[in-house]
């Protein structure tokens, strides 16, 4: 036991008692009464498939982002896949993807028939490094998918400049970044298209769900058709009272439509998106304050003129000052009954990308630095003040215990 540890501060890993009785689930969403009632109304309406509520959610989201068009789909992965397909990416093309991201960003490129070309990030912002992206451009590069990591907008001036110089399509992976802004302009309006996620841990949740925003009306029309089997655009209205409509199959599409049950959640989640952000900003500030002085780096502040969507609070452990690995710290936090996450182990360290594309350790040192020492603390708007203090108390006690 370290000399400064009192009995009460002793972590479970050193024989103490867990800080909490109940397990704090990482990423549990803030679901409230209005969406519960809307789901019930949807169930009672007799129509739970793609219908009027999807239309309402799509329009509310389009208006919130301020994009010319929005199309609701079943996930951000589907949104990325369809955006890449309509962008003109073809088999044999290369698409720049940061190596520090969730698998879906690169997998969508593979599903579109192209090759994901991984790019290193900047360890402070965790976003794709524009100079590394510039070095990765070849005559076959057709598109880039920058990820606004953790909700912090990427350096879009540099990335858009690079895209302009090389004629690249830009598809923003905005899965973390619904509320984010770059230089006063909203994420979702910066590139050719942007893809959002409403997965259970995201800032707006529909269980599963996604959205594409785009400034290209023809892309939006094609995505809408591709998202529902390739059927003619208003096929989802075929059971409405507007009279029977025959659909036409225009393409071999996908089953990527959002349902009214999901949209019922989304409509009310979106109505609280700004108040939930303010709550997460307050939790973030409390974490910054409460974690000061510990052997760990706290996340980079938002860029000047920008707004951070506060999706992930990633702590980077100062491993040189700790006698534990990140995984030992994670385990110790779980034993305190605090759920945590890892965002992410870089893609090039996973077997699929290594074996298929020949990537390996040592290629992207910044992303590897993050991969080894990152852990994500809970940041849902659902957290009570007590929960936040428990997260802080557990993190402090565990890091104090492991401090060299
Ligand atoms: C950066 C990033 N891109 C894409 C996705 C895929 O989102 P979905 O689960 O909605 O398909 C995620 C989901 O976690 C993500 O974090």
Q: If you count them, how many residues does the chain have?
A: 404
Where residue 244 falls among pLDDT bands split at 50, 70, 90?
confident
Over 80: is that where the pLDDT of 326 sits? yes
Clarify whether 255 is annotated catalytic: no
Q: How much is the pLDDT for 232? A: 83
| pLDDT number for residue 3 | 43
Phi, psi at 147, each rounded to 5°: -105, 125
Whole-angstrom Cα distance, residue 266 to residue 71? Answer: 13
Residue 246 has pLDDT above 90, yes or no: no
Going by CA atoms, what residue is nearest to atom 9 of ligand 1?
199
Say yes or no to pLDDT of 64 above 50.
yes
The Cα 56–Cα 58 span in angstroms is: 5
Judged against a pLDDT cut of 90, whether residue 233 lies above it is answered with no
Q: What is the mean pLDDT of the chain?
A: 95
pLDDT above 80 for 6? no
Per-residue pLDDT, 41: 98
Check: CB of residue 371 under 8 Å from CB of residue 149.
no
Would you state the pLDDT for residue 170? 98
Give the start-to-end residue ranges of the domains of the chain.
7-28+273-402, 33-271
Is the pLDDT assigned to residue 396 strictly greater than 50?
yes
Would strands 210-214 and 69-73 be described as parallel, antiparallel, or unpaired?
Answer: antiparallel
Domain spanning 7-28+273-402: CATH 3.40.50.2000: no
- Taking CA atoms, 224 is separated from 109, 247, 305, 358, 376, in Å, by 19, 14, 34, 35, 35
| Nearest protein Cα to ligand 1, atom 16 | 102
Position 7 scores a pLDDT of 60
**Residue 119 Cα to ligand 1 middle (Å):** 18
Mean pLDDT throughout 63-90?
A: 98
- Which residues have C-beta atoms less than 6 Å from ligand 1? 75-77, 101-102, 104-105, 147, 173, 175-176, 197, 199, 210
- pLDDT at position 4 is 52
Cα of 19 vs centre of ligand 1, distance in Å, is 31
Confidence class of residue 245 from pLDDT cuts 50, 70 and 90?
confident
Predicted model pTM: 0.96
CB atoms near residue 157 (< 10 Å): 12
- Ligand 1 mutation pick, 29, 72, 77, 121, max ligand atoms within 8 A of CB: 77
One of 3.90.1200.10, 3.30.470.20, 3.40.640.10, 1.10.760.10 is the CATH number of 33-271, namely: 3.40.640.10
CB-count exposure of residue 372 (10 Å: 0-12, 13-18, 19+): middle
- Give me the catalytic one of 69, 148, 152, 202: 202
Report how far apart, in Å, the C-alpha atoms of 138 and of each of 31, 117, 127, 147, 382 are: 46, 10, 21, 20, 45
**Could you count the other beta carbons within 10 Å of the beta carbon of residue 55?**
15
Give per-residue pLDDT as tens, 164-176: 999 999 999 999 9
Ligand 1 centroid to Cα of residue 175, in Å, is 5
Residue 1 has what pLDDT? 41
Atom of ligand 1 nearest to the CA of 147: 1
Residue 2 banded pLDDT, cuts 50, 70, 90 = very low
- Summarize the chain as % helix, strand, coil (round to 5): 40, 15, 45
pLDDT band at 327 (very low <50, low <70, confident <90, very high): very high
Residue 302 confidence (pLDDT) above 50: yes
Q: What is the pLDDT of residue 9?
A: 81
The tens digit of pLDDT for each residue in 330-379 reads 999 999 999 999 999 999 999 999 999 999 999 999 999 999 999 999 99
Closest CA to 68 of 215, 172, 185: 215
């Amino acid at each position: 036991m370290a000399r400064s540890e009192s009995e009460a501060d002793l972590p479970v890993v050193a024989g103490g008692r867990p800080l909490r009785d109940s397990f704090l689930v990482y990423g549990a969403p803030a679901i409230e009464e209005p969406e519960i009632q809307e789901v019930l109304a949807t169930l009672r309406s007799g129509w739970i498939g793609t219908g009027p509520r999807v239309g309402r959610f799509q329009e509310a989201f389009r208006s919130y982002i301020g994009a010319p068009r929005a199309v609701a789909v079943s996930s951000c992965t589907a949104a990325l896949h369809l955006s890449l397909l309509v962008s003109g990416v073809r088999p044999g093309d290369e698409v720049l993807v940061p190596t520090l991201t969730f698998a879906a960003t690169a997998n969508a490129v593979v599903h579109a028939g192209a090759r994901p070309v991984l790019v290193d990030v900047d360890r402070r912002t965790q976003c794709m490094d524009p100079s590394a992206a510039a070095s990765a451009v070849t005559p076959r590069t057709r598109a880039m998918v920058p990820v606004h990591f953790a909700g912090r907008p990427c350096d879009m001036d540099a990335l858009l400049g690079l895209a302009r110089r090389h004629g690249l399509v830009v598809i923003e992976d905005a899965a973390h970044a619904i509320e984010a802004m770059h230089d006063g302009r909203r994420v979702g309006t910066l590139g050719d298209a942007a893809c959002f996620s409403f997965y259970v841990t995201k800032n707006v949740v529909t269980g599963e769900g996604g959205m594409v925003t785009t400034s290209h009306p023809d892309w939006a029309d094609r995505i809408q058709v591709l998202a529902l089997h390739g059927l003619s655009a208003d096929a989802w209205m075929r059971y409405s009272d507007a009279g029977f409509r025959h659909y036409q199959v225009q393409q071999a599409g996908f089953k990527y439509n959002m349902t009214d049950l999901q949209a019922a959640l989304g409509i009310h989640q979106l109505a609280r998106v700004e108040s939930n952000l303010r709550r997460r900003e307050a939790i973030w500030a409390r974490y910054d304050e409460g974690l000061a002085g510990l052997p760990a780096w706290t996340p980079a502040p938002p860029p000047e003129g920008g707004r951070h969507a506060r999706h992930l609070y990633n702590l980077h452990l100062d491993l040189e000052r700790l006698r534990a690995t990140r995984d030992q710290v994670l385990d110790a936090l779980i034993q305190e009954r605090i759920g945590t996450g890892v965002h992410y182990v870089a893609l090039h360290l996973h077997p699929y990308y290594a074996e298929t594309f020949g990537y390996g350790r040592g290629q992207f040192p910044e992303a590897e630095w993050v991969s080894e020492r990152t852990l994500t603390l809970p940041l849902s708007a659902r957290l009570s003040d007590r929960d936040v203090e428990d997260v802080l108390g557990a993190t402090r006690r565990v890091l104090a215990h492991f401090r060299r």
